[in-house]
Structures are given as structure tokens and as C-alpha cells.
Structure 1
Amino acid sequence: MAGTGSATTLGTLLRELTADPTAVEEVVTAARGNSPEIARLPPAEVRRQVVALLTCGLTALERQDDPGERDFAEARRLGADRAAQGVSVAGLLRGVQAGRNRAVELVVRHGRTAGIPDDVLVEGLLTIGRYAAALERAVVDGHRHAERDLARAGHDARTRLLRRLLIGPEPVERAAEELGRFGLRAEGPYHCLVAEGGDPVRAHALTRRLSRYGAVLGTVEGRLAGLTPRLPPADRLDEGVLVVAAPAGPLDRAPVMYALCVAALRAAARRGRHGLHQVTELAGETALAAQPALAELLGATLPAGLDPGDEFHRELASTALTWLDHGQRLDRAASALHVHPNTVRYRLRRLRELTGFPPVVETPGGWPVLETVRWWWALRTWLERG
């Protein structure tokens, strides 16, 4: 960048950096790399923050007014959102400050390349620094106000109650008074639900959405979990979130339902599932996942004639799984694999020659259920661990 040494040139530089995806990504990487809590946020969310901070610096340089006269409502909202998402003020500031330091390095490096004199760079960065400090104070202020509001709303007490109800054992009659405080009735019934963790932004949005249906939610063993009198339609939830719910039942059954939901959540996550699922829908995967030693034994014995390093062998196993998943129908499996039914028939025959895979039954009913489960489990395990 060619420069004249003026503040306008520095403003142009900041404007270009703010619009430069590579520069923004460097700042994002610094922020996420220095704060594990920020790293758990979606990169797009952090990127939005970075652009907002760079834009703030640009505005500060152009306006040259007193930071005390600025409205930092957006920064306060940012702090409040992070508090609600469970990000600590220390974790938030580590990310903000690391990103700011990286942005300063970029300004200095590109400024010198553009020919901007050091004294102009220093003066501009001092101006930006005053605004950055005021912005950070606003972030902290918003975070602390939100924490106090959450505490007044009974956030901590609600979470403690949920942990006692879901992990147990907590006699429901002993917690009757507390239940009423949070809109629950000892006589129930309630759905227990558990959501996949790791994304505080989505967890916060999910909490707000489920609360509209009477859900009482909190963080239990690192996951969003809770009780709700009714479930929302599946299409009303973020399709990128995995939620597992149990059928409605009495509160004294909540620990059992919670344990089942957690097991089903793990099984569904391993399969890459998303959306809202009933624990009963995931019964097969959950039951099989609870027997890893038996899965290992099946995966090592039934497909023993296959070589994990041979792509053709992996294709045979995958084809057989698809055939089993599609009701042992050659036409449906062929359609799913985008091949001719005769290709499916050939691959299953080759698999039988190599492993003793049972013969294809082309009459209604197919294999016995237990034989189907045995081979489905064995092939799935072999493919996953091969």
C-alpha cells in the first residue's frame, strides 16, 4: 500500500484489513488459540466479533472523540451473551486481548509496508487503544450485569436442583418446594432431555427455544440437560444440534431416563446424527454401544476373511451394510449405492466366499432378526475400526 503518512492513509489501511478475510482469520486464530472457552464458540461467531472490534478501531481513528462519549451497547450485549453461554469473563478477555494484540501487529506490519511513518502509526494506535480499553470495560460490565441477573433468576439454584433430580437420588417429595419455584410439579410427568455440548452459542439459543415450551434446563455433567412438560416439533430446533429426549414420565424416574438419554446421545453422536430424537428411536444403537467388548469380538471374527487395507473388501462390507439397512432388498440397496442390482448381488456373493456371509434371501422376511443384528454389528464395527 502506498501511503502519504496521513491519518487518512492509516484509516484506509484499517478499512482494508477489516475487509481482508486473511487478516481477519489471523486475528480469529489468535483469539481462539489463547482462550479455550472462545475456541469452543463457532468460528463464524468469533469472526463477527473480530470485524466489530476492527470496525470500532476504524471509527475511533476517524472520529477522534472522547471514548467516554461513545455508546458501547453492542459491547455490553456481547459480554451478556457470553455470560449466558457460560464463557467466563477471564476467558472472554483472554480472547479479546489476544485478538487485539494480533490486530496491532498486522497494522504495524502493513502500515510500514505502506510507507506510513512510525510516529503516525503510534499516534493512531494510541487513539485506537483508548477505544479498545473502553470497549473491554463495556464487555466486562455487560458480562457482570448478566451474571448478577442470572443469579437473581435462580440460575445456580436451578442447575443444582437439576443435578440432584437427574443424577439422583433425590426424593421428589423433599424437593417439592424447590420444584414449584422453577415451575415444576412433583406429580409430573416430564420429558428428560439431553443436548450435545461444546457449542455455547447454540446451547444458549437452544435453551431459549426450549424454555418457550416450559423446559427447565441447566448444565449437568458438562451437557445441557433438563426436564420439560412438552417437546417442540423437531423442525423448530436448530438442525445442527443433537438433542435426545425420553418419553414423559414421573420425576422419580428421571435419573433412569437421564442415564438412557446420555447413552443414546453418545451413540447418536458417533453416528453423526443431528436434530431431535426420542431415546426409543436410538434403542438399537444405544444397546449395541453398551457392549464394546462384544462388538470388538464380532468385528474380529465374522469378517475375519477381509483385509482392512483392501479397498475392494471395504466396498464389499459397505455394500452388505447398505443391503441390511435397506431391508435386505437388492433394488433399494442398488438405488442407495447408485449401482445395478446385479452389482449388489455380485458383491454379496464375493463377501460370502470370503467370510461365510449368509446367502441372500430374496423372499419376504429375509434373514432371522438376530442373524441380521449379528452381521450388521460385526460389519459396522469392522468398518469403523479397520
Structure 2
Amino acid sequence: MTTVDTGPAASFDALLRNLVTDPAAIEEVAGAARAHSPEVSRLPPAEVRRQVTTLLRCGLTALQDRIEPGERDFAEARRLGADRATQGMSVSGLLRGVQAGRDRAVELVIRHGRSAGIPDEVLLDGLITIGRYATALERAVIDGHRDAERDLARAGHEPRTRLVRRLLLGGPVTPAAEELTRFGLRADGSYHCLVAGSVDPVRADGLAGRLARHGAVVGMVEDRLAGLTPRLPPADRLDPTALLVAAPAGPLDRAPRMYGLCLAALRVAAGQGRRGLYDVTELAGETALAAQPALAELLGDTLLAALDPVDGFHRELVSTALTWLDHGQRLDRAGAALHVHPNTVRYRLRRLRELTGFPASAVGEGAGGWPVVEILRWWWALRSWRDRR
């Protein structure tokens, strides 16, 4: 008859298994990794949670198998390190995230272990063992990262990425014509700057390949896929779940300014949950306004001071006014978008006017000579008030 171990060691193993499958614990460890590593924080939160789960499961499996750390093949950890190298993340940035996550995981083990009544001496023995495996795990992550960096360098990825970074970030030395020619660029050429939103390593590789087939020279810049291309690919040839922002074509010396604009527009588009390929000029207004958050807050608080953010009717008035403005100041179009009668839209606009002084022409079918600057001022105030709440 097999004897089931129900002692303290078994309780400690059960504690570890529970933590690895606990979403709240995973989120706490992932949050620590993001908080202590700016490079990790720029990854999608779901990707960081996947990374944490992978490492914790890898370590737990090694502990359960009772295999010495030096004899264990931490293949998953090596693969994770390689993925981050492919994304352009530095080994130091990766390690800061891994170590911060490890420290938070140890805190969770102690906290939950004591709550479960596991003796301190058992927790101490377990944590010493965990420390040995965690060290081996970190070495595997570093080895995977460095191996991938060497492979990328041999394949020419690293020189290409260095060139892209110099062109987009404004390196101190202008690339020579021979270096540009090596990667298909010309000093007198005209190129679109292109920046992609955060994607996982596999999708980033696929996206880079599609862009390269249209003449793009891309690399990982500040943990984002970015580069220059002589022509933009058709939107239907790209990953439909990806977000990309491009600038109109221009000379290479304009690339750093275009990169900054694309990055600012990308943040706005990502915050709105957009997907697809956008020209930076399509997002110009929202990008410019997003650069002045303090003014936006002041404007919303001043023009809409009479509105209560916890009042559902007031929120409905703001939503209606924004919809009306976004649909050409047309009652019929706003009503169709809101699934209400145009008279309902008119009534809500009139109530908003009574509360805030919203321009009187809003109750008509059109703007009625309402100045463009005034439309912008109210649209920005309404948008700021809504988004902050």
C-alpha cells in the first residue's frame, strides 16, 4: 500500500502549486516585474503574465522532479531569453524584471505559507531550495538571450537594427552611403517612418517579414518594431490585429522627427484600442491635444463645472454632445448612432446648454456658424471630462 505524504514538505509543495495557478499571484509577480524594469513594462501585460507563468512552472517542475539545478535543462527559460533578445530588450532590463518578480514570489510564499500554518523552518528550507533553482533559471534566461544575440548578429539582424536605431533616434554619426546601400537604403531616398504597437515575438517576426517584402528596413527600437520603408504595404497584407502608424515619405534626415510623431500618435491610437495601419496625419488632432493633458483637464473642469461625474444623466448628456459633434453636428446622424430619436438628441443638447452654457446653435440641425475654434474647445472639454471619468 502506498503511503501518501501529508507532512509539512507536502504542504509546501501544494502551496507552490497553488501559487503557480493563482491569477492574483501571477498578476502580483508580473506587476513587480513591470514596476522594476521599464523595458518589461513596455511589453503587453498579457505577455508579462505569460512570461511569469512560464518561469514559475519551469521552476516548480524542476523542484517536483527533485533534479539538481545543474542537471536540469531549463529549455523554456532559455527560449524566453531568446524571445526578449529578438525583441531588442537588453539582458540587464530583462534581468531586472526577472529578479523583481522572483523577490515578489518569495514574499508571496512566505505570506501564504504562514497563513497556511507551515512551520518557519519548513518555509526556510523550501526557500533555500527555491533560491538554488531560481539562480539556475536566471542563468538559463541569460544564456538564451546571449545565444540569440549571437545568432542575430551572425544573420545580420544586429547591424540592421543598429542602423535603424541611429536613423530614427538621431545617432551622433551619420551613416555612410556604403552602410545605407548594404541594407537597401539611399542617402537621397524618400522613406516612410513606420512604428508598430506592442506585439509578441512571434507576431513581431512575422510582421517584420511582411514589411521587408515591401522594401522596409526594420528593427527593434525602444522595444518596438520600427523602421523605414520606400512604400507602405497594403493594409490587407498586414496582421489585422496589429497597430501601425506611418509618416508621409520624406528624406532620411527628417526620420528622427517623424519617429517622435509616430510614437506619440501610436500611444493615442493604442489607448483608443485601434488596429490597422494609420497615417500619422489621420491622428494629428488627437495627438496634439493629448500632448496637453493639464490644459485638457483645466478646460473640462472649467466649461463643465456644473456637471457631476457620478450623475448618470450628466454622463449621458456629455456622450450625446460628443456624438453630435463627431457626426457633423447633425441631429439625425447623432440619433442614429445613439439609437434614439433626433428630438431626444435635441432635448439633451438643450439640457446641456442650460447647465453649462453649451452654444445655443447646438439645438439646431447644424453648427449654424459656430466657429471652428469654439467647436474644438467644447469637443476637447467634453472628451477630457468623459475620459477622466
Query: Aligning the two structures, in what range does the TM-score lie when normalised by the shorter sequence?
Result: 0.7 to 0.9
Say whether residues 1:377 and 2:376 are aligned partners: yes
- 1:236 lines up with 2:235 in the alignment: no
1:309 aligns with 2:312: no
Match of 1:56?
A: 58
Distance 1:161 1:18, change over 3 A: closer
Across the two proteins, how many residue pairs are aligned to each other?
A: 371
C-alpha distance 257-355 of structure 1, shift in aligned 2 (>3 A): same
Q: Name the CA shift for 1:322/1:56 in 2 (closer, same or farther; >3 Å).
A: closer
Query: Equivalences for 1:34-49 in 2 at 5 Å?
Result: 34-49=36-51
Does structure 1 conserve the Cα–Cα contact (< 8 Å) formed by 2:87 and 2:224? no
Distance in 2 (CA, whole Å) between partners of 1:9 and 1:137 is 28
Per the TM alignment, residue 289 of structure 1 is displaced from its structure 2 partner at its CA by: 4.1
Cα distance between partner residues in 1 of 2:223 and 2:202: 14
**SS of 1:71's equivalent?**
coil
Q: Which residue in the other structure is 1:336 paired with?
A: 337
Q: Check conservation: 2:189, 2:252, Cα contact below 8 A.
A: yes
Structure 2 segments unaligned to the other structure (5+ residues): none
Go from structure 1 to structure 2 and tell me whether the alpha carbon gap of 1:80 and 1:247 turns closer, same or farther (over 3 Å shift). Answer: same
Alignment-derived partner of residue 132 in structure 1: 134
Partner of 1:184: 185
Correspondence for 1:206: 204
Could you list the per-position Cα deviations for residues 319-355 of structure 1 after superposition, in whole angstroms to 9, with x for gaps in the alignment? 3332232233322201222322111123344566734
**SS at the partner of 2:361?**
coil
Q: Does 1:11 align with 2:10?
A: no
| Matches for 1:1-386 after TM superposition, within 5 Å | 4-5=6-7, 7-111=9-113, 114=116, 116=118, 120-155=122-157, 157-163=159-165, 165-166=167-168, 175-185=176-186, 188=189, 190-195=191-196, 199=198, 202=200, 205-206=203-204, 208-214=206-212, 215-218=216-219, 224-228=225-229, 229-231=231-233, 233=235, 236-237=238-239, 239=241, 242-248=243-249, 254=255, 258=259, 261-262=262-263, 264-265=265-266, 268=269, 273-283=274-284, 285=286, 289=289, 307-309=305-307, 316=317, 318-349=319-350, 354-358=357-361, 362=365, 366=366, 371=370, 373-385=372-384
What's the TM-score once normalised by structure 1's chain length? Answer: 0.74
Identity of aligned residues (%): 64
**SS of residue in 2 equivalent to 1:48:** helix
Quickly say closer, same or farther: Cα 1:67–1:339, change in 2 above 3 A: same
Between the aligned partners of 2:19 and 2:184, the Cα distance in structure 1 is 50
Return the alpha-carbon distance in structure 2 between the equivalents of residues 171 and 13 of structure 1. Answer: 55
RMSD, aligned CA: 4.3
Larger Rg: 1
